[in-house]
Amino acid sequence: MSLKRTGVWLLLFFFVGSAMQDKTPEYHNCQDTHVTCVIAEDCILPCSFQPSGHDAVRWFRQEVAVLSFLSAGSEEEKEDDGEDKEEDEGDEDEERGQHYDDRASVSPEQVARGNATLVLRECGPKDRGRYRCHVTTLAGVHESHVLVKVEAPLHSLHMELSRLSGFEEIKCSARHVYPAPHVTWETDPPASQLLRPITRKLADKQTGMYEVESRVRRLRHHPEITYICKVTSSYGTQSWTASLRERAEVSGPEGRDISIPCHAPDDLHDPFLSWTFTQGQDPAHILTYDRQSRSSSMSPLWEDHVQMDAYRVPLGDGSLRLLDPDHQQHTGVYTCVYSAPYRTHTEETEVTISHVADKRSSLEPSHWWIVAVVITLLVIALAAMLTYFKVKGSFSTPRKQPEPSTEMHSVKVSTPEEMIPGERSPLTVPNYGGDTTDSPSKDA
Ligand X SMILES: *[C@@H]1O[C@H](CO)[C@@H](O)[C@H](O)[C@H]1NC(C)=O
CB of 56 to ligand X, least distance (A): 17
Which are the contacts of 173, defined by CB distance < 8 A and separation ≥ 6? 157, 158, 159, 211, 212, 213, 214
Point out which residues bind ligand X (CB under 6 A).
107, 110, 115, 117, 119
d(CA 279, CA 347): 16
Q: In terms of CB distance, is 67 or 152 closer to ligand X? A: 67
Q: Are strands 332-340 and 272-278 parallel, antiparallel or unpaired?
A: antiparallel
Helices (H), 179-292: none
Is 3 buried (19+), middle (13-18) or exposed (0-12) by CB count in 10 A? exposed
Residue 248: CB atoms within 10 Å: 10
- Give dist(CA 52, CA 394) in Å, integer: 124
| Burial class of residue 424 (count of CB atoms within 10 Å of its CB; 0-12, 13-18, 19+) | exposed
CA 432 to chain centre: 61
At closest approach, how far in Å is the CB of 127 from ligand X? 17
117/214 with CB nearer ligand X? 117
First-to-last C-alpha distance (Å) of the chain: 120
The span from the CA of 55 to the CA of 74, in Å, is: 6
Phi, psi torsion values for 157, nearest 5 degrees: -135, 130
CB nearer ligand X, residue 119 or residue 258: 119
Contacts of 271 (CB under 8 A, 6+ apart): 264, 291, 338, 339, 340, 343, 345
In the bound state with ligand X, the residue whose beta carbon lies nearer, of 105 and 214, is 105
Minimal distance, residue 97 CB to ligand X, in Å: 12
DSSP, collapsed to helix, strand or coil, labels residue 71 as coil
Smallest gap from Cβ 153 to ligand X, in A, equals 21
106 or 159: CB nearest ligand X: 106
CB of 28 to ligand X, least distance (A): 24
**For ligand X, which is the closer residue by CB, 143 or 438?**
143
Nearer of residues 110 and 288 to ligand X, judged by Cβ: 110
* Of 107 and 278, CB closest to ligand X: 107
Q: How far is the CB of 43 from ligand X (least distance, A)?
A: 12
For the bound state, the minimum distance from the C-beta of residue 113 to ligand X, rounded and expressed in Å, comes to 7
Minimum CB distance to ligand X smaller for 28 or for 121 = 121
* DSSP letter, residue 34: E
| 320-322 and 129-137 beta bridge pairing | unpaired
**Least CB distance from residue 140 to ligand X, whole Å?**
21
Q: Report, in Å, the least distance between residue 111 CB and ligand X.
A: 8
Q: How far is CA 82 from the centre of its chain?
A: 55
Judged by beta carbon, residue 114 or residue 314, the one nearer ligand X is: 114
Least separation in angstroms between CB 90 and ligand X: 15
- CB-nearer residue toward ligand X: 35 or 323: 35
CB of 119 to ligand X, least distance (A): 5
| 145: nearest Cα among 133, 137, 128 | 133
Instruction: Report the distance separating Cα 228 and Cα 161, nearest Å.
Output: 12
DSSP per-residue letters across 99-134: TS-TTEE--HHHHHTTB--EEESS--GGG-EEEEEE
Residues 415 and 409: their CA atoms lie apart, in Å, by: 10
